Structure 1
Amino acid sequence: MAGVSRYLAQSIVGTLRQDPTLNPLATLRAWPNLPAEALKRLNQADLSLVDRALEQGGWIWEPTDYPDNLREMESPPLCLFGRGDASALSTPMVAIVGTRKASSYGLAVAEFFGKGLAEQGFIVLSGGALGIDAQAHKGALAAGGRTVAVMGTGPDVAYPAVHKGMFAQMEASGGARVSPFPFGTPSFPSNFPARNPLIAGLAQAVVLVEAPAQSGALQTVAAALDLGRDVFVVPGPITSPAFRGSHGLIRDGATLVEHPMQVVEALGGGMIQPLPPEEGDDLSETQQAILACLNGGPMLTEAIVRQTGLSAPLVLAELTMMELDGIVKKGRDGYQRGL
């Protein structure tokens, strides 16, 4: 709750637990010395939202329900609100985080890592936001895996609204949406930094894909380092300000990774180098069109754009994904088929 210290929040929760007959909203509104912003939110609160959320598959965890890794946090949430399969939180999870304003390269890499980690049995954890978060979730779903979003709103609020379908697919696929904020909580700017440590607390490791110097994703990484979690960073172009935060972490000793299997190996799995797919196998129509351009040898990106009639950003994103998968490789003369 805005402006309420953790000590005060614990006192309020303790009082309500000792006497279940108390009306929660009336008790909170009458509590002495509550900050004005907290009172404002309480006056907007509607407990019927909680009842409806629970009837529609929502759940509430108290600290006694938390998995061990969450209890390692210095200040774990007083309660955890969720939708979907709660058991997902007790399965090994790797967080993939980064900027909302991601490059086509960053988006492709996030999806590649999400897909690769899901294929190895990890639950992919992220924040449900635009950019890197969404692509990581989508990569896991594309692999038939499970993914969990830690929301900066109530877990029943589809924010951003454009992700409503993705959130529904996450829950239908055995994943979940969780939040330290109660059902019905709308988007407040202060909520998102507050939820970042929860991502680190739930994760076994954190993969940073793309982050400028002031990215909120760096807060998640800092919380992960404080908890002793493994932190992996994907490098980017040295000329791009969008990767200044990422490269700073690499300089400070974070582990550089270029493939999801490197994360799996570091976490105790065996290194298994997947073979590139056979021509036409699991390739989209766009990828097949790009690959057909390379039958005659290497080709520059501009030439591929002209020959396929596709947009330059789409071609760049697909080439990045295909290069990561080993389908194509880049040389001085442009892109060519992988070996």
Structure 2
Amino acid sequence: MDEQELLAWLRLSLCPGIGAITFEKLCAIDAPTNIIGYSERELSDTGLKSAQVQFLKQQSLAMAEQALHWGEQSGQIIFTAEHPDYPSLLKQTRGYPPVLFVRGDPALLSAPQIAMVGSRHATIEGLETAKRFARQFAEQGYCVTSGLALGIDGHAHQGALDVLGNTIAVLGAGLDCIYPARHKHLAARIAEQGALVSEHLPWITPRPEYFPRRNRVVSGLSLAVLVVEATEKSGSLITAKCAADQGRDVFAIPGPIQHGFHSGCHSLIRTGACLVQSAKEVLDEIESVPNWSKKVQPTLFNQVIDKEELPFPELLANVGIEATPVDILAQKTHIPVHEVMQQLLELELLGHVVAVNGGYVVKGRR
């Protein structure tokens, strides 16, 4: 891909309200290099709103050139979905990012990966378990992938680094805006020994809605997802749900029932995730039963979804044909904003709602 093609991909992907699925639909109409050259009327005919058309015509080029300059720096690269080294496993998933920003070793994105996720407020035992499993995965040649969050994520990355293994951190912000700030040193080590990945422009600061969306990339890059320790409301369950939808293996480590730190893992196990107690069990499943996910994982979460015609009916009832912002949905449903965002992500992945400029609109049957 030459510079002009990359600029076109960047300009289109940077347009507000154009998510991964909308971008894919636009590419089905024409190549990004051609779409960028459309007249305002032709752009409107593709379904883009007036504000989006104006952005493409007036603002997108300067931002794209800034991003292009970032990608020209040593140790940094921009992958489009048409790049020959774009991770093929991720590209098989619905809503894969059209553009990825990478700092570190880009080849790792196509290496065999095991995702490890869990609570940000994990127990000491959970943190040590994450580190131990990550070390063993890395020693067996697997790249450990996680989200750089506090708790389980950070210890999983650290475990791989401890044995000079490979690890990938998928960020919910741009690569120049490391979050949480206390993991800046860890992120620097990962960039040297592994790779940092984001679908956001390097200078984009973290926002709450970015983190649930990041989870689909964590699972999409990986052969399997291991949930180490999680409560019933943990965001890790979103990653597990993404993994199941993507046909990935989902594993969960059980724990004591006296407290709720493991309740999320127990729920996953009840609904189809594979119970494991050692890294070897995970590796044995991945390496010796390649069709396990096809046989078991489709049942994951079905028990919950089958109880209703559609998931999250209260939230869906408040999403209409006009764009509704997340904060308004939270006010109408009396559901916390972070839960609204997690539910919207699941509904979007299932094809019931779609993100547009200004919020979300309903899609398909009600």
Compared CA separation, residues 5 and 140, structure 1 to 2 (3 A): closer
Compared CA separation, residues 121 and 161, structure 1 to 2 (3 A): same
Please give the per-residue CA displacement for 1:207-239, whole angstroms capped at 9, x wherever unaligned: 000111111111110111112211110112212
Task: Please state whether the residue corresponding to 2:228 is helix, strand or coil.
Answer: strand
Counterpart position of 2:226: 207
Cα distance in 1 between the residues matched to 2:233 and 2:18: 26
Please give the per-residue CA displacement for 1:295-334, whole angstroms capped at 9, x wherever unaligned: xxxxxxxxxxxxxxxxxxxxxxxxxxxxxxxxxxxxxxxx
Task: Please state whether the residue corresponding to 2:287 is helix, strand or coil.
Answer: coil
Counterpart position of 2:70: 52
Cα distance in 2 between the residues matched to 1:239 and 1:180: 39
CA contact (8 A) 2:243 2:250 kept: yes
CA RMSD of aligned residues (A): 3.0
Counterpart position of 1:171: 191
Q: Tell me the amino acid that sits aligned with residue 214 of structure 1.
A: K
Q: Tell me the amino acid that sits aligned with residue 83 of structure 1.
A: R
Compared CA separation, residues 34 and 217, structure 1 to 2 (3 A): farther
What is the total number of aligned residue pairs between the two structures?
A: 260
Cα distance in 2 between the residues matched to 1:230 and 1:10: 26
Cα distance in 1 between the residues matched to 2:235 and 2:143: 22
Task: Please state whether the residue corresponding to 1:268 is helix, strand or coil.
Answer: helix
Structure 2 runs not aligned, ≥5 long = 1-14, 290-366
**TM-score normalised by structure 2 residue count:** 0.64
Match of 2:171 among 137, 151, 160: 151
Within the alignment, does 1:192 sit opposite 2:211 as a pair? yes
* Cα offset, 1:139, TM superposition: 0.3
* Cα offset, 1:136, TM superposition: 0.1
**1:1-339 equivalence runs, <5 A:** 3-6=17-20, 8-10=22-24, 16-18=32-34, 32-34=49-51, 47-48=65-66, 50-64=68-82, 65=84, 66-173=86-193, 175-268=194-287
Please give the per-residue CA displacement for 1:125-147, whole angstroms capped at 9, x wherever unaligned: 00011111000000000011010
Cα distance in 2 between the residues matched to 1:216 and 1:2: 25
Structure 1 runs not aligned, ≥5 long = 271-339
Please give the per-residue CA displacement for 1:108-157, whole angstroms capped at 9, x wherever unaligned: 11111111110111000000111110000000000110100011111232
Counterpart position of 2:358: none
Please give the per-residue CA displacement for 1:67-114, whole angstroms capped at 9, x wherever unaligned: 321121012111111110000011100000011111111111111111
CA contact (8 A) 1:158 1:164 kept: yes
Cα distance in 2 between the residues matched to 1:269 and 1:9: 37
Please give the per-residue CA displacement for 1:259-293, whole angstroms capped at 9, x wherever unaligned: 111111112279xxxxxxxxxxxxxxxxxxxxxxx
* Cα offset, 1:3, TM superposition: 4.0
Cα distance in 2 between the residues matched to 1:49 and 1:62: 13
Q: Tell me the amino acid that sits aligned with residue 33 of structure 2.
A: R
Cα distance in 2 between the residues matched to 1:16 and 1:205: 33
Please give the per-residue CA displacement for 1:13-52, whole angstroms capped at 9, x wherever unaligned: 7675227789xxxx9xxx74347xx99x98x968535513
CA contact (8 A) 1:53 1:183 kept: no
Determine which structure has more spread, i.e. the larger CA radius of gyration.
1
CA contact (8 A) 2:75 2:105 kept: no
Cα distance in 2 between the residues matched to 1:90 and 1:34: 37
Bigger mean CA deviation after superposition, 154-163 or 223-232 = 154-163
